[in-house]
Structures are given as C-alpha cells and as structure tokens.
Amino acid sequence: MTCVRRLDLTTLCMPPILCHGGHKMMPAATLSQSTRAAGAPCISNGALLAFLVAWLGVDQLLLWRFLDVAPLWAYIVGAAIVAGLCVAIRRLTPPGPGPSARTVAICFALSLCLLILGGEGRLLYANIDWQVRLAALRDMAVNPWPFVYASPAGSDVLRAPVGMFLLPSLAFKALGNRAGDMALLVQNSILLAVVMALASQPFATRRAKLCALVTFLCFSGMDVIGDLILNGMVGEHLEDWLGLQYSATVTQAFWVPQHALAGWIGALAYLLWRADRLPLGLYLAVLPLTALWSPLGLMGAMPFALLAGSRTIMAGRLGARDILLPALSSLLVLPSLLYMAAAGDAVGLRLQPLPPTQWLTFQAIETLPYLVPLLLTRTALRMGRDTLWVIALWLAFIPFVQIGWSIDFMMRASATALALLAVMVGDHLAATPNKRVWLIAVLAIGSFTGAKEIHRALAHPSAPEVRCSVAQAWDQSFSDFPKGTYLAPLQDMPAAVRPKNPALVPTTPLPRCWDGDWYRPRNTRPRELRRQDSVKRQADRKG
C-alpha cells in the first residue's frame, strides 16, 4: 500500500481512505475496483449534504409558520441563512466524487423497506408509539395554524419534536390522510437514504461497505440473554428486560425514526469530519438543525462535537469559519430551541440513582461485549481510540440522567454513540473477520432483537387510521405518564414563540380513536413493575 498526499479521483466513484498519518491511501485492489466504476454517474458529497441541510432548514421556517410568530423579513433572513449554509457546504466540502447514483438508489430502496416494516405509511403493523405520533400529524393537518387545545387550566400548545411532521402535514392538508402517511414515509426514506449513502463513503471497498451496513442494521445488545437470565423467557419487545434500554438499530427505526435520524445525522457528520471529508465548521453547523427532530438526539451528539472541537483547537487549526457557520446555524434554530424548551420545568432534568448491580448487569449485556474487545485490540481504529473512549464513557454515564418521566434520555441520547460504535465494530470485522469470532457471535445474538421487531411487524394487522387528538390518543397506552412531553400551557411559552391569535381546538373525546384493536407487545417485565418505575421516577422528581 502506498500513501500519497494527492490522488486524482475525479472520474472515479470509489473514494480513498485515510492511512494512519492522515494522508490518503488506496490499495491496488481498490484501485482496480474504482477503475471498473469509472464513468458511473456520481453525486457529490457536497450536493447530498446541502440537500440534507436544506431539508432540515426548511423545517425551521415551517415551525415559524406553524406558530405564526415571524414577520415576512424574518423568513427572508432565515431563507438566506439556509441558502448560505448550502452554498458553504458546496464550496467547502473537500472535492472528490461522492456515492454513485446506483448506491443512493439502493440506499433508498433499503430505507423504504425498513421504514415500511416499521409501520410508516400504515402498510404494516406500527408500534404503539405511533398512536400519539399519528394523532399529532392529524392535528397539525386538520387544524389551522396556529392552534391550541382547550384544557381545564386554559389552553395547551402542541410542543413536541414536530420536525418530522411539518412537511407531511402539508401533504395531509392538501390531499388527505393517505397522502400524509405516504409523505411521511417518503420523507424519512429519502433522509435515511442520504445518511446511509454518505456514511458509506469513508469505506474504500465493497466488502467494507457491506460489512459496515450489516453490522449497523443488526446492531444491538444481547437483550435475549438478559431476558432469559432475568425473566426466564423471551418477550416480544426484548429491550425492556431491566428497566433500562439502549435501542437496537431496527428498534430505533421502527419506534422513533425522528430521534434515530437526528442521532444518526450527528454520527454521520462526525464520521465525515474524522475522515477529513467535512470541515469542523460545517460539521458543527449541521448539528443544531436536528433539534426540531429530536433535542435528545442532539444532546447525544454533543460529546463528539466537543471532542472534534478540542482536537481542532489543540492542533491550532481553528478558523473563523469554524465559529461563524455554527453561529449562523444556531441563530436559525433559536426559535426551535425556545419552542422545545418551553415549560421545561414541568419536564425536568435530574440525575437518577441506580443500584450498582443493575447498572453493571445492564452494561455487561449491552455495551461491554463490544467495547472491551475494541479497547483491547492493538490494531488501529478508524476513528481513533479517543472516539472509542468517549463512546464508552457516554454510554456508561447517561443511564443516570433523566429528562421527563421515563428513560427517554438514555434511549435517544445514545443513538449517536451506538451508531459510531456499530461503525467501529463493522470496520474491525471487515479487516480480519476470521479472527473476530467473539464480535461476530455477540452481533449474531444481538440481531435477535431486531428480528423480533420485524416478526411483530409481519404478524399483526396494519396500523389503523387515527381520528382523535393527541391528548386522547395519549391516554390509550400512556396514561401512566403526564402529557408534558407533548403539550405545554400557552402562558408558559416564551413570548418570542407564543402564538398570538391561535385557533382554539376543543378536546371533546371521540367514542373511539381508531377502528379495531391495536396490538400491544407483551413484555417479560410485568406492566405493574413498569408502572412502579414510573411512579418512583415521578416521586423522585417531586422530591
């Protein structure tokens, strides 16, 4: 193998990889593969990243319209910031070919299949979280913007990570319920396809790309082992075996695609920055745009942003653009941050004590089987040992943090770290798979979690149309928990994002939210124990 500082690849679709000194290198076998790929249509990395930023940026402007809080000039300024970020991405992204059109098409087909299996489009069974999610989509479509719900205390605003619903709700308004369902499916499939296509770029060979993809899709802790040891049986939703949870890739895609995409975009941006394919300023500018999809996902990306910033500062390479671009992005999303933080005192941020045996048992099943072999290996790691240590420390710490009344923070804020860990495991397996028996075995056992999710998607009827409002849908399956994560009193909204003349929506309950039965997975951890967990967390919060 020969390291070179510059390599003309303008006619090739196969990108170089980085050698340990930071220079570009490409094995001879890869060069021959790339030569065969010459002439294939390519899409530049800058174009795909600009597309992703534009989509997320438009969501910010649509939130202003949803709340009706911005004058015309603000939309002009906001659109100019989005356009400026897109131009900066096209100009500052290192030159070179991106993924082929064929790769993007394959990623879209794979994303579409995955999300259909997860219930999007209501073509197959959807997990019970979609009861509230589809109600939110419906409310945003059938009610005029802005609107508030009538409540005994006054009126409530729909205050939630609505980024995923804004564009689909417009399709719903214009063309009806099915159009809204299909728009949501197509939107998420497109965004996931772009993320997957860009994430494939730092992998030089087809084998490495395939290994990384399979590892990512199968990635999970060994939940089936924990379920068998602790509960003596295997449940349908395996991850609720100890009252703590790090979600498998398939689980995230099926249950919480908005949180998953936010976390995975954070992981993608870090991966591209680490591979010298994205300047620090652009990496940091992408992150705030994900807040409207998942503020918890954004929080989970911050440790890696801090690592990237620290490395850049210590190397003396911090430039003005590395500060200006994130500042512009943060200015654009400031209304979204105010909106998401409204009535935050009712939701709360706190540390929750965990028995050492519970924490250690959880880590021994979920994270240590992957982390220990990587930490002990003497071979080079694609993203460096500092990245691996940040992953390990973050996954060890976040079970002790609680936002809201459940374990949502640890489930959602782990998405970036778990995605990066999956990449490192896949990269390690691709190097010498015959010497990685332990990691292959752990991954195979972990894949049972995703397989159970897919089995449930195929075994039960497709999701029905939701006809009731968010509050009534919430009470169908989540009545144990307050509604503060989705609703906020109008008077508690910051003045800058408080709707001035909202339409008042009555909350008269309907006889039924949907036709027929909506299957609820049976967990091995009894519902009474989960209810007690909820009550204890609420008591801790009040205390």
**What span, in angstroms and rounded, lies between the C-alpha atoms of 124 and 455?**
11
Q: How far apart are the first and last CA of the chain?
A: 62
Beta bridge partners of 349: 403
Q: Is the pLDDT of residue 212 over 80?
A: yes
**What span, in angstroms and rounded, lies between the C-alpha atoms of 245 and 251?**
11
Tokens of 270: 């870090």
Residues 80, 332 contacting (CB under 8 angstroms): no
**What span, in angstroms and rounded, lies between the C-alpha atoms of 250 and 256?**
10
Residue 27 lies in a domain: no
- 3-state SS of 418-460 is HHHHHHHHHHHHHHCHHHCHHHHHHHHHHHHHHHHHHHHHHHC
In the 8-state DSSP scheme, what is residue 94? P
Q: What is the pLDDT of residues 471-490, one digit of tens each?
A: 999 999 898 888 988 999 99
Residue 433 lies in a domain: yes
Tokens of 249: 């890739």
Q: What is the pLDDT of residues 245-295, one digit of tens each?
A: 999 999 999 999 999 999 999 999 999 999 999 999 999 999 999 999 999
Rg, the chain, Cα only? 23
Residue 2 lies in a domain: no
State the pLDDT at residue 523: 67
Helix (H) or strand (E) holding 467: none
Q: Identify the domain containing residue 267 by its residue range.
A: 41-131+167-459
Residue 209 lies in a domain: yes
User: Domain total for the chain?
Assistant: 1
Residue 474 lies in a domain: no
Q: What is the pLDDT of residues 123-179, one digit of tens each?
A: 999 999 999 999 999 999 999 999 999 988 789 999 999 999 999 999 999 999 999
Q: What is the pLDDT of residues 353-384, one digit of tens each?
A: 999 999 999 999 999 999 999 999 888 788 99
**What span, in angstroms and rounded, lies between the C-alpha atoms of 35 and 16?**
13
DSSP secondary structure string for all residues of 170-189: HHHHHH-HHHHHHHHHHHHH
Residue 436 lies in a domain: yes
Would you place residue 524 in the very low, low, confident or very high pLDDT band (cuts 50, 70, 90)?
Answer: low
State the pLDDT at residue 40: 64
Would you place residue 17 in the very low, low, confident or very high pLDDT band (cuts 50, 70, 90)?
Answer: very low
**Angle of CA points 180, 181, 182, to nearest 5°:** 90
Please give the share of the chain, as a percent, with pLDDT higher than 90: 75
Residue 377 lies in a domain: yes
Report, as an integer, the average pLDDT of 4-16: 32
Q: Three-state DSSP class for 324?
A: helix
Residue 73 lies in a domain: yes
Residues whose CB falls within 8 Å of the CB of residue 17, separated by 6 or more in sequence, listed in order: 24, 25, 26, 202, 203, 204, 275
Among candidates 185, 201, 179, which has minimal Cα distance to 44? 201
Among candidates 436, 329, 435, 420, which has minimal Cα distance to 382? 420
**What span, in angstroms and rounded, lies between the C-alpha atoms of 366 and 369?**
7
State the pLDDT at residue 498: 96
Ramachandran area for residue 529 (φ above 0: left; ψ -120 to 50: alpha; else beta): alpha
